[in-house]
Amino acid sequence: MERPQPRFPEPDTQPFYEATKTHRLTYQSCNSCGTVVFFPRSHCTSCGSRDLAWRDSRGEGTIYTFSVVRLNRHPAFAPLGPYAVAYVDLDEGFRILTNIVGVNDPTTGVSVGQRVRVDWQDQESGIALPLFRPA
Amino acid sequence: MVSQKREAAIVGIYEYPKRRAPGVTALQIKAECAARALADAGLSWRDVDALYDAQDGAGMSGLGLSEYFGFKPNVIDTTAVGGSSYEFHAAHARRAIISGKAKVALLTYGSTAHSDSRAIGTGGGGMGGGAPSPLDNMQSPYGMTLIANYAMVAQRHMYQYGTTSEQLARISVATRAHAVRNPEAVQAMIDLGYQGTGEISVNDVLDSRMIADPLHLLECCMVSDGGGAVVIASPEVARDCRTKPVWILGSGEATKYSENNGDLTISAAAQSGPQAFGEAGVTAAEMDIAMIYDSFTITVLVMLEDLGFCKKGEGGRFVSEQRLHFKSPLKPALNTDGGGLSSNHPGMRGLFLLIEAARQMRGESTSQVEGARLAVAHGNGGMLATSHTGGTIILARD
């Protein structure tokens, strides 16, 4: 079973997921005050301006925190075995919720402060999910 | 202690005694608890002129609940901010009473989370029904369970301050020590299939199954059925009630959410706490009782810090000292009813924080602190790592 998917129409996050189809990790910044806005919205969370620019991230960052899920009854996750959920701070200044992949044992191979790089997981619908692996 | 205004008081309380209640609805629990809390106060069904509801029972709850109960309230407040809703309601009720809009406010809660077999802590996370939302779209693909959400705060707290699982476990140990003295809590643990219902040690907690690193099973609250009611009244009404008034001296309300470059180890309590203590003219150090929402051990640790019981980052050391137990000479006694960890957690525990704090002020707790005069009830709603609310209420006896 596939993971829960983002659902559309949802105008705030639609451009973000459109960009994932070509494996581009995007975020917004305010043209009025410079604030980085993430998750995507149609206004700046610092000044209320609606003049936001979409930018491409290099996809590199640092694990801010994480947990290794040992028990999830959801059918998409139940068979996975332990997996890591994390907040990653991208170098451009935004924080994303994601999974850490590409480690043999997430219970020992993931740590706060670890450098990671985006790793795209293509979905049936054509979008891709930005997961991260050790850089 | 500065002189405090006594403008609204908790005069009636009732906690639904069962934690497994098959065949009963949330609305029925709310109505039964309402009647019993009013009777506790010596007030009648017809005295209620302000209705508070967190939308846990009837649809269009302000209207639906009025009709179901048979009330025609002058004040309706359906603030629904998760488990802290009842601290928000108590704050709003006090303001409505002070403004003269209400004299008798009723807060009720009912839930059949256990009988509905809701996997609150270990469900997929963010599996939205209803309309698509931006936040859901950014979170639901990643399998963050509710427990993992709180665990991420614990992980960061450990990284940032050196907090240990052994320190966190002490919160479970103290809470369980109180639960074994509370017959309803003991019955709850039996009814919900706890493997042991006696006191536990730090090692018991550390040896229990890891659910979401670094949180173990015995650091997680139960999922029960249950409910309760609280009646808050004006000083004029309180004077004629059959119970001793428990005064609401101050309140604070706040939100907190994940932000770019934000510090996840700081909760909404850092904003709501100073408001409440400032208004009450008291400090955390003066609190005999701390009723703090123990969804998980880390919730309590973070909120003890944010409420000012100790400095940020020193919570681990603070709970390791011989305190939290109701007989400890060091304040505060924590969650003296057994908490959400070991007594009652049907999903939104905030109401029980007010109820047990009021019991302590009335001298009626099963783990009564001798001479307790001041209590803080701090509710937490939503999810600690993503977005949550904090509601702080300061209570005092005469």
Domains of chain A by residue range: 14-134
Looking at residue B121, what is its pLDDT?
73
Contact call for B128 and A80, based on CB within 8 A: no
β-bridge partners, B323: B330
Name the residue of chain B whose CA is nearest to A27's CA: B260
Report chain A residues whose CB lies below 8 A from the CB of B387: none
A120 inside 8 A of chain B by CB: no
Report chain A residues whose CB lies below 8 A from the CB of B223. none
Res. B4 pLDDT band, cuts 50 70 90: confident
Closest CB to A67: pick one of B128, B137, B213. B213
Looking at residues B209-227, what average pLDDT do you find? 97
Calculate mean pLDDT across residues B122-128: 55
A&B contacts, CB < 8 Å: 140
| pLDDT of B215 strictly over 80 | yes
Q: pLDDT per residue over A73-125, tens digit each?
A: 899 998 889 999 999 999 999 999 999 999 999 999 999 999 999 999 999 99
The predicted model gives B54-77 an average pLDDT of: 93
A55 in contact with B at a CB cutoff of 8 Å? no
CA of A132, closest CA in chain B: separation in Å? 12
When the pLDDT of each residue in chain B is averaged and rounded to a whole number, the result is: 95
Instruction: Give the separation between CA B230 and CA B338, rounded to whole angstroms.
Output: 19
Please name the member of A3, A10, A95 whose beta carbon is closest to the beta carbon of B133.
A10
pLDDT in the model for residue B22: 94
How large is the average pLDDT for residues B287-298?
98
- Taking the C-alpha atoms of residue B280 and residue B4, their distance in angstroms, rounded to an integer, is 6
Cβ-nearest to B137 among A7, A76, A86: A7
pLDDT(B124) > 70: no
The token duo for B309 is 């019981």
pLDDT tens-place string over residues B350-385: 999 999 999 999 999 999 999 999 999 999 999 999
How many angstroms separate the CA atoms of B60 and B34, rounded? Answer: 19
Alpha-carbon separation of residue B313 from A63, B296, B309, B379 (angstroms)? 20, 17, 11, 20
Question: How distant is the alpha carbon of residue B274 from its chain centre?
Answer: 18
Residue B57 confidence (pLDDT) = 82
Look at B143 and A68 and tell me if their CB atoms are within 8 Å.
no
Give how far A133 is from chain B: nearest CA, Å. 14
Mean pLDDT, range B251-279, rounded to an integer: 98
Nearest CA in chain B to A66: B152
Grouping H, G, I as helix, E, B as strand and the rest as coil, residue B19 is coil
ipTM of the complex: 0.97
Q: Which chain A residue is nearest to residue B126, measuring alpha carbons?
A: A4
A32 shares contact with chain B (CB less than 8 Å): no
Look at residue B1 in the predicted model and tell me its pLDDT.
46
Give dist(CA B203, CA B200) in Å, integer.
8
Whether the per-residue pLDDT at B125 is higher than 90: the answer is no
Give the mean pLDDT of B74-94.
Answer: 97
Tens digit of each residue's pLDDT (9 = 90 or more) over A11-50: 999 999 999 999 999 999 999 999 999 999 999 999 999 9
Asked if the Cβ–Cβ distance from A6 to B124 is below 8 Å, we say: no
The kind and range of the H/E element at A87 are strand A83-90
What is the model's pLDDT at position B324?
A: 97
Question: How many angstroms from the chain centroid is the CA of residue B96?
Answer: 22
Confidence of residue B127 (pLDDT cuts 50, 70, 90): very low
Cβ-based contacts of B261 with chain A (< 8 Å)? 89, 93, 95
* Residue B225: pLDDT band with limits 50, 70, 90: very high
- Chain A, 61 to 80: residues with Cβ < 8 Å from chain B are 64-74, 76-77, 80
Please name the residues in contact with A106: beta carbons below 8 A apart, sequence gap of 6 or more.
Answer: A68, A82, A83, A84, A100
Domains of chain B: 9-116+223-397 (3.40.47.10)
Q: What is the pLDDT of residues B185-211, one digit of tens each?
A: 999 999 999 999 999 999 999 999 999
Mean pLDDT across B161-187: 98
Can you spell out the DSSP letters for B62-73? HHHHHHHHT---
DSSP assigned state of B369? P
Q: Sorting pLDDT into bands at 50, 70 and 90, what band is B126? A: very low
Torsion of CA B51, B56, B59, B62, to 10 degrees: 10
Instruction: Give every strand in the sheet of B330-334, ordered side by side.
Output: B75-77, B50-52, B104-111, B226-233, B9-15, B246-257, B387-397, B374-383, B289-292, B330-334, B323-324
Residues of B in contact with A19 (CB under 8 A): none
Closest-CA residue in chain A for B150? Answer: A67
Chain A residue numbers touching B215 (CB-CB < 8 A): 67
What are the structure tokens assigned to B373, written together? Answer: 């005069």
Q: Measured between alpha carbons, how far is residue A47 from residues A117, B1, B220, B223 in Å?
A: 31, 41, 39, 41
Q: Is the pLDDT of residue B3 over 80?
A: no
Residue numbers in B near A66 (CB within 8 A): 152, 155
Alpha carbon B30 to its chain's center:
17
- Name every chain A residue with its beta carbon within 8 A of the beta carbon of B135: 39
Write down the pLDDT at residue B123: 66
Give SS3 for B26.
Answer: helix
User: Are B134 and A12 a contacting pair at CB < 8 A?
Assistant: yes
A107–B contact, CB cutoff 8 A: yes
Q: In this predicted structure, what is the pLDDT of residue B27?
A: 96
To the nearest whole angstrom, how far is the Cα of B117 from the nearest Cα of chain A? Answer: 12
Residue A101 at interface with chain B, using a CB cutoff of 8 Å: no
To the nearest whole percent, how much of chain A has pLDDT over 90? 94
Q: Under CATH, what is the fold of the domain A14-134?
A: OB fold (Dihydrolipoamide Acetyltransferase, E2P) (2.40.50)
